[in-house]
Amino acid sequence: MKIHEYQAKELFRNHHIPVPEGYVATSPEDACAMAGRLGGFPVVVKAQIHAGGRGKGGGVKLARNLQEVQSAAAAILGRPLVTPQTGPQGKKVRKVLVEQGLDIAQELYFSIIPDRSTAKIMIIASRAGGMDIEEVAAKSPEKIIKVLINPLTGIEPGHCREIGAGLNLPDSLAEKFSTLVENLYRLFIEADCSLLEINPLVITAQETFVALDAKVEIDDNALFRQKDILKFRDIDEEDPLEVEASKYNLNYINLNGNVGNMVNGAGLAMATMDLIKSAGAEPANFLDVGGGADAGMVENGFRIILSDSNVKAVLINIFGGILRCDVLAEGVVQAARKTGIKVPVVIRLQGTNVEKGREILAASGLQLITAADLNDAAGKIAEIARN
Amino acid sequence: MAIFVDKETRLLVQGITGREGQFHARQCIEYGTRVVAGVTPGKGGQNMDDVPVFNSVKEAVRETGANCSMIFVPPAFAAKAIMEAIDGDVDIIVAITEGIPVLDMMRIKNYLNGKQVRLIGPNCPGIITPGQCKIGIMPAFIHKPGGPIGVVSRSGTLTYEVVHQLTTKGIGQTTCLGIGGDPVNGTNFIDCLKAFEEDPETKGIVLVGEIGGTAEEEAAAYIAEKVSKPVVGFVAGLSAPPGRRMGHAGAIVSGKTGTAQSKIAVMKEAGIHVCDNLGRFGDFCAGVF
């Protein structure tokens, strides 16, 4: 789960990680009031959306007086912000963070991620702060320091010294830096982060560390034990159909194509999308109804697919294991009766109770196109795509 | 012959009294798997059908000689259950549970270091040696006993699809297993490739991958160097958008890494026969094997 910068900074404050003083505002007037609570100018007005590269899209503005705060907030709020990560349509900005400007001496890069291949926690740091770290990694990998930590034994003083030395930090900052890194590591563990990134982490003219930016993502699998962080979920940032699907525990992702699809199992769902693409069409979604789906979940999944106005055809591909074909068939028939089907629907069933499932579909009197196997289904989708 | 499990395997089921644990334990018994014990803390002394239930793995192992554990414990308690199985002296742990936090799995992976026990999964369909034993949730009837093909996959239903097409073409299987769709798991592709290479009855291998991570690339490097048997590969997710988790926690393209395109290129370079049309997977395998 993604959270906003201002929410990540709240977590930072709770873990004694220094951040600039700042307040959230939802209107230009509000932004001016918040700027007034800070200790003077300049201040920074930052768009709060779930996407990176905000500076490049004009979502971060410096203001030297109240008038500039007003115009910066007015320019950012209520409009879509287009960044390299949002796609061309951008993301609507509903909140800005108004923050104290700082006297910056140096900018660093710092992040913590779970490293899947070693099963260790990886701290990544670089003196090349404020830049795109993937670019730095590609062009000058020697500028990047990586340290692996065993989650069973946790962070040790040696880890912090190794990173500090790699960053060429002066001895006078060593202790402050160790405390900072330990606090960040503790937050990463306690909040079940899947990403914690600070770019830039600044050293101020007063020789203190401050997290100027904060990007935190939480492991979805761990949300059951992160109730406080779950409150940070902002459904305005999510696709409305995906929000709707999540109410029924459906694993749905809205895409730009025109052939909807419903599959059981994530791997088969991806492979089915690939099949649609190689048939000359584009998948409109990813939808894994899961192994334990009941007729109600199937019905809701089908309804959500059909409510996407781009969808010109639907492919249902079920390999019945735990999810029986007759249950799937009943769900499809229910949904079709309630919402009506205005587009061609190709159904391929295989596995547990497949005969019973096919009988239910045939007896329904609905105009469904059945496919004998996956290859047949791909051919039928290709035929529809051509017309 | 087979890899990891066969008709001698003595299975215990952690979470046997839960709805799913019970359902699948029964399915395994029906297939012929020797289910010798169940474990549910607080329910020791009861029976699930004819299977005795114990309070702990240690007790179940001591009383029944179980050497393999299948885990159906919900995600919040699954890590503890796996740890208990590791300490309980079984040889193989098959963790079916989906949704275990990554941090828990990282701790388990490090805890496994240097120990002899093998963990398969989590978030996997399990393992089946057709005609001998089934430890997992896969539909049994799609398999064909007797070999000669070994199947290893990161997915569940996609594996069923692949196996079904093999069977339809008259190609049997030695052992089929899913290693799971999570970013951190126990047994990896290379462990399975090594075992299939050493198994005299396995004449060819099917490897089913998906987007995210570098497991397919590592497998390809291993195959180029160490595997003499023919390998057919498939990678799901050619049409997956970057930055989105495609159902499986581990299935995500980060930046430019983990794409299906790059995995397929590396696999082809390593001499793997990569099938690009799932609809004709069976025909493709019939051609190669």
> pLDDT by residue (tens digit) across A217-229?
999 999 999 999 9
Q: For the ranges A74-83, B237-246, B275-284, which has the lowest average pLDDT? A: B237-246
Contact B239/A at CB under 8 A: yes
Contact B244/A at CB under 8 A: yes
Q: Which positions in chain B touch A271 (Cβ < 8 Å)?
A: 158, 161, 234, 236-237, 278
Q: Which positions in chain A touch B176 (Cβ < 8 Å)?
A: none
Per residue in A135-168, pLDDT tens?
888 888 888 999 999 999 999 999 999 999 999 9
Per-residue pLDDT, B104: 97
Per-residue pLDDT, A336: 86
Per-residue pLDDT, B1: 64
Kindly tell me if the per-residue pLDDT of B237 is higher than 90.
Answer: yes
Per-residue pLDDT, A86: 86
Which of A60 and A132 is assigned the larger pLDDT? A60
Q: What is the ipTM of this complex?
A: 0.93
| Own/partner long-range contacts of A222-228 (Cβ < 8 Å, ≥24 apart) | A222/A192, A222/B101, A222/B102, A222/B103, A223/A1, A223/A192, A224/B75, A224/B76, A225/A192, A225/B76, A225/B101, A226/A191, A226/A192
Which DSSP string do the residues of chain B spell out, in sequence order?
--SS--TT-EEEEETTTSHHHHHHHHHHHHHT-EEEEEE-TT-TT-EETTEEEESSHHHHHHHH---EEEE---HHHHHHHHHHHHHTT-SEEEE------HHHHHHHHHHHTT-S-EEE-SSS-EEEETTTEEEESS-GGG--TT-EEEEEES-SHHHHHHHHHHHHTT-EEEEEEE--SSSS-SS-HHHHHHHHHH-TT--EEEEEEESSSSHHHHHHHHHHHH--S-EEEEEE-TTPPTT---SSTT---BTTBT-HHHHHHHHHHTT-EE---GGGHHHHHHHH-
Q: What does the DSSP 8-state code read for residue A283? A: B
Residues forming beta bridges with residue B14, ordered by sequence position = B39, B71
Q: Report the percentage of chain A scoring pLDDT > 90.
A: 75
State which residue of chain B sits closest to A249, comparing Cα positions.
B247
Per-residue pLDDT, A41: 96
pLDDT band of residue A4 (cuts 50, 70, 90) is very high
Per-residue pLDDT, B135: 97
Per residue in B118-135, pLDDT tens?
999 999 999 999 999 999
State whether A221 and B249 contact (CB < 8 Å): yes
Q: For the ranges A96-100, A378-382, B140-144, B215-219, which has the lowest average pLDDT? A: A378-382
- Catalytic residue IDs of A: 109, 197
State which residue of chain B sits closest to A226, comparing Cα positions.
B101
Per residue in A161-207, pLDDT tens?
999 999 999 999 999 999 999 999 999 999 999 999 999 999 999 99
Interface of B with A in 43-82 (CB under 8 A): 75-76
State whether B246 and A266 contact (CB < 8 Å): yes
State whether A221 and B246 contact (CB < 8 Å): no
State which residue of chain A sits closest to B138, comparing Cα positions.
A321
